[in-house]
Structure 1
Amino acid sequence: MTGQVLVDSGAFKTRFETLAAKAQKSIYIQAMSFEGDSVGEWLIDTLIASPAKDVRLCLDSYSQFVINDRFIYSLGYFKDEAFRAEVKNTAAIVKKAREHGIKVKYTNPLGFLFLKYPHRNHKKMVVIDDEISFIGGLNFCEHNFEWHDMMVEMNSLDMASSLSNDFHRSVAENDQSTVNDLGDTKMYYLDGYRSKEIYKDIFKNIDGANESIQIFSPYVSDPLLTYTRNHKAEGVRLDIVSPGINNKNIFKAILTNELMKGYFNFYEYQGRMSHLKAILIDGKRLICGSSNFDFISYYFEEEVVMITDNQEIVQSFIDKISKPDLADSILKKSLGGKRSFFVPLLFAGISKLCHIVATIINVLQPKSKRNV
């Protein structure tokens, strides 16, 4: 397998346009968020212009209710003309896509009274002509395209086949909780709490670190933080890189408390929101994909995670992400706040509630879809 890391939306956009224009057989795209702004319009126009015969777009139902991080059924919808226009344009460009033969599927309905809201399909992937594929963190909306992020491009028939199979299962709402071994790379298809045993396999990579662990995520939290604190070998350097500008401040509060425990070095990424998520082990193994390594992913969300020892991809990540992002970050001894007794209690309560809800959801699943 050959591959490279594409940094930020501009690099991905340029590469995708080139490949879409040459595609003959198929283009499959999956994302959680899709909006009727300039990015959504660009994607649909690019897909319509492609000669590919089978073009499919799989989106989470979240995008039918939340646009630009705002709930559609709110007072803001009636007060903000621009917001209403974006909501209407989202529906309009989806209709346009379908009229041009693009198959659009909204998966994971939110259910009666939004009872299924936590259970989102958070995967981001692209597969072109069953040969070239991408995974990473990009959603198709303006604010996400403005954030710091990455997509990993891979040229491999086996990888494309693995991702394509999972894509079709998502479309059919027959989601899997499994691992595909592709030689120097393993693909993990996760389904929240149903996959807790598979998450253990991912976390064990922390135990195997001999020199260093680098965690990149805006939302890193338990169970990964506690696992890392308890399982990393003595003398192994742990660096956490997370943005100073964060759209979810609860995670900054969590890191403020954790930093005071003294088991990691905190690098605050400067300048803009970083949505990038990855773990680098000893500069030799890369763990990346759609998972934020947070409690929401662990308990509820469907994710795709790659663990690879492919040195071309690992070195690309080091050169394009690890070194530059550390250089663009400030090493913080503290995050300015005092240690809070309230934050860990609140987070413990949230985690316990998530555990209970996830357990109930798992029990209500058909036996074939219960936790493995």
Structure 2
Amino acid sequence: MPYKRFSLAQSQILLGSQAFMQRLEEIASSASKSFHAQAMTFEGDDAGKWLIDVMISSPAKEKRLLIDSYSKLVINDHFIPSIKYLRDRDFRDEVKETQRLVEKAEENGIHVQFTNPIGILGLKYPLRNHKKMVIIDGEISFLGGINFSDHNFAWHDMMVEVADPKLGVSLIEDFEMTWKNHNQSKFINTELGQLYLFNGSKSKELYEEFFEHIKNAKKSVQVISPYISEPLLGVLRFLADKGIEITVISPQENNKSIFKNIILSEWEKGYFHLKKYPGMSHMKAILIDDEKLIFGSSNYDLVSYYFEQEVVFVSKESDLVRDFTEKVLKDVEVFDSESVSAFGKRKADFLMKMLNKVGGLASRTFLRPH
């Protein structure tokens, strides 16, 4: 067995940061070859320090950390070049602590690299690498929505552990490509499912192939995401017209209110059921016919579709689907009646139109993903 060094080596849902931390510590302590970690957000708080300590303690010979350049510009949801940086000493300390933590990692044998430079005057700010993944020894992979920052660790979210050697090798290959500043648009069949590596506007055809998984639903589709917009909404409307039962699960407290307005505006059109999680949920997942699970970093919104690199996995592994249903769907509540103001609707419509226009322009100019 390729996983004999790792206890309980099977695909499973790790709901919440504590479950993810406990499992990663266990796996990392038994690693021998490599420890690859990638995230969009990395900060010098307790979450970031925990990751570096786990990587330092791991006996893995090769240790690498990929961070999107977003974390050079934004810390704790605030822009570094701002009045807040000048006025708030605690915020300045957060920024400096993040820099010190990267230095500590490098001093202890962890190779660190930032991907997707922001560019002159921040012109490439929209082009983010949104992937979140950890791969241990190329054998066990963790995919999901959790970044390495305290506020992300506090949100309702998950990482999925997948024991699939071909997936691990494929993710390391993608990691290596990103390390060399090459973003992939690629589909890979693995032992337990299908891997999709999206590269913004360069992946339009691949997205169409991916959406076929959803369009082929026979009974039901349940979507969990805080930031739903087109093109996924168009797919859901298509299915609703065919009589497929659609459920959208969204956080009660969305950290991006414009997306809450989009979801509520669409809900009022009556083509899907709306349920909620208390508080803020950052989870991204789609369950099809209670037998196929889609998970990863993408929200399937216009930002991802036009600008970002994403990693998504599609699995029909029955134990994983069952684990997801038992752990994740049990906390869902019926959404209380809530309406969107006329102004809120206009803002939501304006955002989607602007994203479409800017995204279309970006795909034809120097802003396009490379």
- Place the TM-score, normalised by the shorter chain, in its bin: over 0.9
Identity %: 45
> 1:3–1:172: structure 2 CA closer, same or farther, 3 Å change rule?
same
1:330 aligns with: 334
1:132, 1:156 within 8 Å by CA — same for their partners in 2?
yes
- The one of 267, 290, 300 aligned to 1:293: 300
1:290, 1:304 within 8 Å by CA — same for their partners in 2?
yes
- 1:224-263 correspondence to structure 2 within 5 Å: 224-232=232-240, 234-263=242-271
Once residues 367 and 34 of structure 2 are traced to their aligned partners in structure 1, the CA distance between those partners, rounded to angstroms, is: 37
2:225, 2:283 within 8 Å by CA — same for their partners in 1?
yes
1:296-337 C-alpha deviation (Å, 9 max, x unpaired): 011100000001111121111111112x132xx233444454
- The one of 286, 296, 320 aligned to 1:279: 286
Q: Which runs of 5+ in 2 are unaligned?
A: 1-8
- The one of 74, 85, 97 aligned to 1:89: 97
2:347 aligns with: 343
Are 1:319 and 2:323 counterparts?
no
1:56 aligns with: 64
Q: TM-score, normalised by structure 2?
A: 0.94
1:299, 1:355 within 8 Å by CA — same for their partners in 2?
yes
1:331-366 C-alpha deviation (Å, 9 max, x unpaired): 34444545865235413431332333332247867x
- 1:1-372 correspondence to structure 2 within 5 Å: 2-232=10-240, 234-270=242-278, 272-322=279-329, 324-326=330-332, 329-335=333-339, 337=341, 342-343=346-347, 345-361=349-365
1:104-158 C-alpha deviation (Å, 9 max, x unpaired): 0001000011111110000011000111111000100000000000001011211
Q: Across the two proteins, how many residue pairs are aligned to each other?
A: 362
2:141, 2:161 within 8 Å by CA — same for their partners in 1?
yes
Once residues 273 and 345 of structure 1 are traced to their aligned partners in structure 2, the CA distance between those partners, rounded to angstroms, is: 23
The letter of the residue matching 1:105 is Q
> 1:269–1:335: structure 2 CA closer, same or farther, 3 Å change rule?
farther
Q: TM-score, normalised by structure 1?
A: 0.93
Once residues 84 and 166 of structure 1 are traced to their aligned partners in structure 2, the CA distance between those partners, rounded to angstroms, is: 34
Q: Which runs of 5+ in 1 are unaligned?
A: none
RMSD: 1.8
The letter of the residue matching 1:94 is V
Shift of 1:235: 2.7
SS class of match (1:22): coil
1:179, 1:189 within 8 Å by CA — same for their partners in 2?
yes
More deviation, 212-221/231-240 = 231-240
SS class of match (1:198): helix
The letter of the residue matching 1:282 is D
The letter of the residue matching 2:64 is R
2:5 aligns with: none
Once residues 137 and 363 of structure 1 are traced to their aligned partners in structure 2, the CA distance between those partners, rounded to angstroms, is: 25
